[in-house]
Structure formats: C-alpha cells, structure tokens
Amino acid sequence: MILRARGLRRYFGEFCALDGVSLEIREGEFVSVVGPNGAGKSTLINVLTGLLKPNAGRVFFKEREITGLGPVKLCRLGMARSFQLVHIFPELTVLEFLKVAVVSRLGRGGRLFSSLARDREVHGQALEVAELFGLAEKQTTPAKHLPQGDKKLLDVASAFALQPQIILLDEPTSGVSTREKHTIMDILVSASKRIGIKSIIQVEHDMDIVFGYSDRIIALHQGKLLAEGTPDAIKANEVVVNTVVGKKEWARRA
C-alpha cells in the first residue's frame, strides 16, 4: 500500500466539499478519480498532497502518517502533483523550469554561490525530462511563450522531474483536443515507467481516457465516495454511469 486515506472530511465554511472519503492506492496502480463538476475531486487531491488540511480523517504514505504535512515535506517524501489549472513560471525557460524541480529534488536550492549553469548533473537531468516530454527543442523558450498545450505538458513534466514514487495529476489533459489527449497519456505512462514512478492518481473527465488507461476507478459525488472498481465494474455500474457520465451521453456513445 503506497497511499491510504481514512474518513477525509473538508469544509469550506458550512459547505462540506469532502465528506468522509477513504481510499487505498497500491504500488503500481493507475487510478482515475471521476465525478461531476464540484464532486470534490480537486479537493481530494489537495488534501492528499497537503495543500489543504483536512478537518477530519487521516492520510498515510507508505504506512507513515502524513496528515497535516505541507507540500514541501511531502515532496521530499516522494509525492508530486500537478494542478487542474495550468501553473507555470512564465519568465523561466523550459529548461530552467525543469531545473527548479531537479534542484529541489537534489536539495541544492540552498546553494547561494555555486553556478547553476555549470551544474552538469542538474542540466542533464532537466534535459532528460524535457526529452521524455518532447520539449527539448523548446528548452530555451520562456514558458509564457509556449502554446497552451505545451504549458500544460511542462507543468506536468516538472512534477515528473521530481522523480516521485506517487504522482497526483489533476486533469492532466484538460483543455486539449481528444486526439492530443491520447498522445499525452502515452507520454505520461511511458515517462512514469522510465522515471520509476510507482503509482499514478489522475482526475479525468474524459471517460474514454479513464477506461482506457486505469487499473481502478474511484467515483466521487457530492463529496462522498460513490463507487470504486475496475473499469469493467464501473462501466456496469448504472449509478455511476448516470451521475458521472449522464445517461444520454452514455447512450450516444454506445
């Protein structure tokens, strides 16, 4: 078991966005979190990664309790994440962007007087990730000048550059055309194998992607766990299909 959560609850004022969710993620698993808008998917990711503190419940990472630890500490332990909305460093070039992650992982951020340009190790590792994600040709482009799709890819790539054991991706392919989605998903899967990432949790709306890539699916609705199971089990689960996908949509696809 790499990640385990019990009874997670999170309020925003009176509103309960996450209402007693428990889950277990095993090593080697690709898990998708699905649910309609406002189901609490992002809140779940934020609580698991320490960005938000839960009002109740506990989280364990490799049997060690991590409830309440912040993102920086979790990062050290081997957990990385990307955000639903694109998060970039606009003024940094693609390579500098990835170097931030590498510098952080190697614990070199506190080096005040050493030359970053001469650090071959950081350079090499950042370039390697750029190559894995097909961004090597744009390595000197400032992130703000990248097309939207590449911004998203760079955002995700920097999380991979942390070489985490588990990575949580909040809609890694949002805002990208369906055809590109598959390309990106293939990149993510092969990159995680190369880097040695054990488990992936992703939030995704596109059910083709969800069914195509997941080992297991967790469905949320109104902050509660609606169902969980293999893609086949979820496909056969009418309640999930109705709430998450919508009956008409499902009929149209069938």
Residues of this chain that bind Mg ion (CB under 5 A): 41-42, 84
CB 52 within 8 A of CB 63: no
Please, which residue, 30 or 97, has the CB nearer to other proteins?
A: 97
Least separation in angstroms between residue 37's CB and Mg ion is 8
CA torsion, points 32, 163, 61, 10, in degrees to nearest 10? -60
In DSSP terms, which residues pair with 146 in a beta bridge?
none
Q: Which residues, numbered 142-161, are part of the site for other proteins (CB under 8 A)? A: 155, 158-159
Number of residues in contact with other proteins under rule CB under 8 A: 41
Interacting partner of 37 out of Mg ion, ligand ATP, other proteins, none (Cβ under 5 to 8 A depending on kind): ligand ATP
| 115 contributes a contact to other proteins by CB under 8 A | yes
As given in the structure block, the two tokens for residue 217 are 């699916």
What is the rounded CA–CA span in Å between residue 63 and residue 3? 8
Nearer to Mg ion, 84 or 141 (CB): 84
Among the listed ranges 32-40, 96-104, 114-122, 192-200, the one in contact with ligand ATP (CB under 6 A) is 32-40
Q: Pick from 15, 113, 193, 254: which binds other proteins (CB under 8 A)?
A: 113
Q: What's the rounded Cα separation, in Å, for the pair 251 and 32?
A: 22
Residue from 1, 22, 27, 116 touching other proteins (CB under 8 A): that is 116
- Which one of the spans 35-43, 54-62, 123-131, 159-167 is the region binding ligand ATP (CB under 6 A)? 35-43
Residue 233 touches other proteins, criterion: CB under 8 A: no
Closest of 78, 58, 57 to residue 66, by C-alpha: 58
DSSP for residue 140: T
Work out whether 68 is an interface residue with other proteins (CB under 8 A).
no
Give the strand pairing for 30-34 and 56-61: unpaired
Using CB under 6 A as the binding rule, whether residue 84 contacts ligand ATP is answered as yes
Residue with smaller CB distance to ligand ATP, 35 or 78: 35
Strands 64-65 and 56-61: antiparallel
Q: ∠ at Cα 210 (248, 29), nearest 5°?
A: 150
User: DSSP 3-state assignment of 178?
Assistant: helix
How far apart are the C-alpha atoms of 220 and 33, rounded to whole Å? 7
Which chain residues interact with ligand ATP by CB under 6 A? 12, 17, 35, 37-43, 84
Which chain residues interact with other proteins by CB under 8 A? 49, 51, 70-72, 75-76, 80-83, 87-92, 96-97, 99-101, 103-105, 108-117, 119, 122, 155, 158-159, 162
